[in-house]
Structure 1
């Protein structure tokens, strides 16, 4: 019996080749898109789950509100990890990680740039699952100047994974010894370091400061249920360990601090939530966004539903063609149950064929998708364990879902009715089919509007006046390695034609290096007037090089000795301090120390710079204070030449003269700026692709429906032509029913898309608006696409010879 179902289904599908091709193509496109999205979502949800103890690992975050500033940090105080392990018996272990930033590693006579370097406590191997290939995990990072490297790093520098005991030189003078080699950290980790330096090599790691936070701190609990207990104990712990230091530095107790509206809290976040739910200051890498996981999941589901809708629409639309077949089968004794099995068999065969094509497409398209999404997704043995069962589920679920309605619908025909030719199968008579067309194009219109809004916001970001000019600014990122020679290097560059100016500082609007200090409006320590701004060390060339604008006062000057105690503030800081004319006004900086005289330093404001963006446009501009101080973390060079490559060559030549064994690491400021919005740019491109696929799939179904609608009205068209109707009238008659449904879809989808995309835009403090023309253009585009799809079949029917359609009458 089963063999007969398959054979009959094959014959039916082969007989209707056009129907079969449209259905298989539409389903294959929908399934391939859905599978790619599933791989993306699974990858996003799998972050940090490679750790065997992941359910018991938590990171300690800091939430600080002081004066008018509220900042959330992914870092905590230096002594916190040790304190947690000693004070709380349910804490099994704790470990700290501190990003070391750009580091140079000696290979032969050359220093190579490494950006994935961090300091780590020895306990990191007990907290995280970092399998050691060689070396002893218990002692690997206990001594100063020891280092653990990944297997790929070991091959890179030593051509072997057996590198334990070998020397390695950092920053041209720091000698370390390799004490361990670990497996490469999986890509699905919120931190990906290739080199782990012993934490005891970092002098300030041993300090007992409870008011300074710069270490990513993780705790391993004996049971995850203790997380709430530990978090509830944080206030008492802070009172015990940080209260005295707060009294010394701020001249107030924690209770007085909180009574003034400020707070200083610690909280826990599960390890597996960090990637999608944490975007705080001090993250160890670029995390994802939970919002986009939901968006892509919805898009994948919608596209799959569109493909299923196509199947149901086309199957029921051709019901008139199969009505007599059903009638004859029933007369010959076939029960409804067997007819349902027959139609479901056809559906499952179609789905199986589409799935095979979809899987092949996924393997072919996966490298392109990885490049587009910035992922490294691979279908390996681990993936196959869930991927293969998922495909079987997809075949059975989609086949049953897409084929169930046609099966029950077609098998319900009464033989007497259909054999007498009384079955009405016209397009207008199917409310469900009309609903499904509205559903398809509603999703398509929604995706079109979403894509336009995302691209408008990206265009807004790219063209907005940021308060500085990022064009033709070359950034040398590792000038700190030059030491005292950094100033000499800057002077050398001034002699190169095409170099307009340069500034030596690591504090740049597109860089991740941030520093905060506490300031007061007066010397009374009134926390309501306290300011906790970004504090950047800059030179006198900073503002002109970045093309910023002074709105009050003046710039720093090397000739003015008093500028060593002067500051330049931005407009946001001036607004917070309530200073309409801030020039020459005093401002007081907290210094710490045990004596009151050491606790504050009076500075004077020499100028106010126009507000500029140094964070994502998702955030409001925060207060910033420039101090006139030396910092050689990086060098920004303003170019004024068409020969960019020639100037870079000369810069490299000057670098090689000063530091011949060290690689120069550089980028352009506009590229660094774009990197801040890389996620949005990728999302925009993926949105366009998925929207196009959704429209193509919907149009395939519409094309098939138009073909069957034309076929069912062949004799009507012939009669109308004989009575004088021209091609335009015939095309309008055949198209209007579909266009009405598309217009209804636009009316339903547009307000929903406007509302949801407005919610997405709320994530940006600075954003564009959704103009009326966006909705109008999306609707017009959908109507045009639908009309073009329908018109081929309509024109074909309108041009047919009426003699052919009426000859049997």
Structure 2
């Protein structure tokens, strides 16, 4: 019997090849797209879950409010990890990680730039799952000048994974002994370091400072439920260990500090929440956000629904053409049960074929999708364990739903009614189909508007006046490696034709170097009048090189010795301080601790200028107060170059570098590229939106194409009569199109306000954002109408041009 169902289903599907092809293509396209998005979402949700103790690991964060200034850090104090383990019995272990920054590693006679280096406690292997290939995890990082490396690094530098006992030279200064080789850290981790250097090599790690925060600190609890107990203990812990230091540094107790409206708090973030729910200062790597997971999940669901709606629409539309078949089968003795199984078998068979095609297509497109999304997703045995059952469920559910109308509705009618054609209601009788068409285009218009808004915001970011000019600025990132010759390098570059300006400092708007200091407005040292701004050390060439503008006062001067105590503030700082004319006013920089007379230890700073506000953080954040101090910081070298002959100039710059540092590779980038990289996730989201929106529209149009063909087929005789009576092609096209266009218009009316609300919520994440203009909504609606009309017109014109003799011959 089952064999007969399949055989009959094949015959029926083959007989209606056009509808079958549209059904399979639309459903396969929708399922393939949905699969790719599901892979992305699963990858995002899997971050840090490779750790076997992931549910018991938490990171300690800090929140600081000083006066009106608020900052949130993902780092904590040097002694915190050791203290937590000693103070609380329910803390099984604790460990610290500190990013080391760019480092040069010796290989043969050359130095290779490595960025993924971190300092770590020996306890890191007790907390995180970092399987060691060779070496002893219990002792690997206990001694100073020891390092644990990944499998890839061992092969890169020693051509073997058995590298224990070998030495690595960092920055041409110190040899570190390899004491362990671990497996490469999975990409789904919030940190991906290749080198873990013992924190015992870093004397500051043994500091007992409780008012300094620069270590990512993790605790492993004996029971995951104890995290609430630990979080509740933090205020008492801070009072116990930081109270005396706060009295010394700020001249007040913790109670006085909080009474003034300030606070210093700690909180916990679950390890598995870091990637999607944490974007604090001091993160070990770029994180994502749950917002994009929700958006992509919704898109996957919508596209799958559009594909399923197409399938159901065409299945129900085609079923009325089979009413006579049902009548004949019932007259010949076929039971309702047989008919139900027959219709369901056809529907499930189509779904199964579409699913197989979708799997093949998704596998083939996965490399392209990885390139687009910046992922490294692969199909593994573990992924197949949940993928195969899920797809089988989709086949059964979608196939059953699509086949349910003909299976249960048509099979219930009496043969006499079926054979008299009482079930053929044509397109106008398809209330369900009309609703489904509206839903399809509702989703399509929603995606079109979303795509346009995202593209407009990205364009806004690219064209907004940032307060500095990022174009034609070359950044030499490792100029500090030149040591005392860094100044010579800067001077020699300044004399090259094509170099307009040069400045030496690690503090740039497009990199991650940040520093904060406390400033008081007046000599009362009132915390309510304190300022906790970014404080950047720059030279006199910084503002001209960055092409910044002064709002008042002057720039630093090399000729004025007094500028060693001078500062330049931005407009946001001037507004915060409340000075009508900030120039020549004095503020007080906290140096920490007290003087002999008991007063806070401060340095007088006179304001010589106010620079116009410039964006040094993401456009998601408002411009905060900034203080620029005068000094020499060799962290990086920024060079403003002429746009002509850049390749020739680059060759000269590299030549100058090689003369001064022949064994160290120059590490450089252009500032506009660094800026674009900071918004790479938004750019990828925009590209993915465009592709998925296009696919959603194609799938919706496939269904509309099939329904238009069905409607034209249902009204063949009517079209013939109208043509005989003198109707031209345009009249017939308008007649066949108006019902569909009406449905698209309804979809536009429903989707427009909903899309505006959703995308407006998305834009709220940006402190500086574009607005959703009326033309965005109008363009999306007009585009949907044009696409729908073109799709319908193909079938309508074909029907209108048909010879009426053919359709009326049987009459």
Per the shorter chain, which TM-score range? over 0.9
Give 1:469-488 correspondences, 5 Å limit.
Answer: 469-488=469-488
Q: Structure 1: which 5+ residue stretches go unaligned?
A: none
Q: Is the 8 A contact 1:446 1:749 kept in 2?
A: yes
Q: Is the 8 A contact 2:250 2:593 kept in 1?
A: no
The CA deviation at 1:649 is 1.1
Q: Is the 8 A contact 2:312 2:401 kept in 1?
A: no
Q: Cα deviations across residues 710-746 of structure 1 (Å, max 9, x unaligned)?
A: 0000000011111111111000000000000000000
The CA deviation at 1:340 is 1.4
Matched, 1:226 2:226: yes
What SS does the aligned partner of 1:329 have?
A: helix
Q: Cα deviations across residues 671-712 of structure 1 (Å, max 9, x unaligned)?
A: 110111111000000000000000000000000000010000
Cα distance in 2, alignment partners of residues 768 and 403 from structure 1: 46
Look up the match of 2:358. Answer: 358
What SS does the aligned partner of 1:389 have?
A: helix
Q: Is the 8 A contact 1:145 1:198 kept in 2?
A: yes
What SS does the aligned partner of 1:484 have?
A: helix
Matched, 1:468 2:475: no
Cα distance in 2, alignment partners of residues 341 and 301 from structure 1: 28
The CA deviation at 1:597 is 5.7
Cα distance in 1, alignment partners of residues 81 and 659 from structure 2: 45
Cα distance in 1, alignment partners of residues 347 and 174 from structure 2: 68
Look up the match of 1:750. Answer: 752
Look up the match of 1:762. Answer: 764
Matched, 1:501 2:506: no
Give 1:582-597 correspondences, 5 Å limit.
Answer: 582-595=582-595, 596=598
Matched, 1:292 2:303: no
Give 1:725-804 correspondences, 5 Å limit.
Answer: 725-804=727-806
Look up the match of 1:186. Answer: 186
Q: Is the 8 A contact 2:9 2:346 kept in 1?
A: yes
Give 1:336-375 correspondences, 5 Å limit.
Answer: 336-375=336-375
Look up the match of 1:459. Answer: 459
Look up the match of 1:599. Answer: 601
The CA deviation at 1:315 is 1.1
Moved over 6 A (4+): none
Closer, same or farther in 2 for the Cα pair 1:525/1:18, shift >3 Å? same
What SS does the aligned partner of 1:708 have?
A: helix
Matched, 1:653 2:633: no
Q: Is the 8 A contact 1:106 1:170 kept in 2?
A: yes
What SS does the aligned partner of 1:591 have?
A: strand
Closer, same or farther in 2 for the Cα pair 1:406/1:262, shift >3 Å? farther
Matched, 1:20 2:20: yes
Question: In angstroms, what is the RMSD of aligned CA positions?
Answer: 1.0
Cα distance in 2, alignment partners of residues 386 and 712 from structure 1: 44
Closer, same or farther in 2 for the Cα pair 1:705/1:380, shift >3 Å? same
Q: Cα deviations across residues 243-262 of structure 1 (Å, max 9, x unaligned)?
A: 11111111111111111111
316-325 or 532-541: bigger deviation? 316-325
Q: Is the 8 A contact 2:135 2:181 kept in 1?
A: yes
Matched, 1:682 2:684: yes
The CA deviation at 1:524 is 1.7
Matched, 1:636 2:627: no
The CA deviation at 1:513 is 1.0
Q: Is the 8 A contact 1:30 1:306 kept in 2?
A: yes
Q: Is the 8 A contact 1:551 1:609 kept in 2?
A: yes
Number of residue-to-residue matches in the alignment: 809
Q: Structure 2: which 5+ residue stretches go unaligned?
A: none
Give 1:238-637 correspondences, 5 Å limit.
Answer: 238-595=238-595, 596=598, 599-637=601-639
Cα distance in 2, alignment partners of residues 132 and 724 from structure 1: 85
Q: Cα deviations across residues 21-65 of structure 1 (Å, max 9, x unaligned)?
A: 000000000000010011100000000000000000000000111
Look up the match of 1:74. Answer: 74
Cα distance in 1, alignment partners of residues 336 and 80 from structure 2: 72
Matched, 1:237 2:237: yes
Matched, 1:45 2:45: yes
Q: Is the 8 A contact 2:59 2:271 kept in 1?
A: yes
Cα distance in 2, alignment partners of residues 764 and 652 from structure 1: 39
465-474 or 621-630: bigger deviation? 621-630
Q: Cα deviations across residues 300-345 of structure 1 (Å, max 9, x unaligned)?
A: 0110010110111111112232000111111222222221111111
The CA deviation at 1:400 is 2.0
The CA deviation at 1:479 is 1.1
The CA deviation at 1:421 is 2.2
Give 1:50-199 correspondences, 5 Å limit.
Answer: 50-199=50-199
Cα distance in 2, alignment partners of residues 503 and 673 from structure 1: 18
Cα distance in 2, alignment partners of residues 804 and 381 from structure 1: 57
TM-score, normalised via structure 1 length? 0.99
Cα distance in 1, alignment partners of residues 185 and 27 from structure 2: 38
Cα distance in 1, alignment partners of residues 188 and 405 from structure 2: 41
Q: Is the 8 A contact 1:570 1:611 kept in 2?
A: yes
Q: Is the 8 A contact 1:311 1:403 kept in 2?
A: no
Cα distance in 2, alignment partners of residues 651 and 268 from structure 1: 47
Cα distance in 2, alignment partners of residues 675 and 4 from structure 1: 59
Look up the match of 2:700. Answer: 698
Cα distance in 2, alignment partners of residues 25 and 644 from structure 1: 50
What SS does the aligned partner of 1:592 have?
A: strand
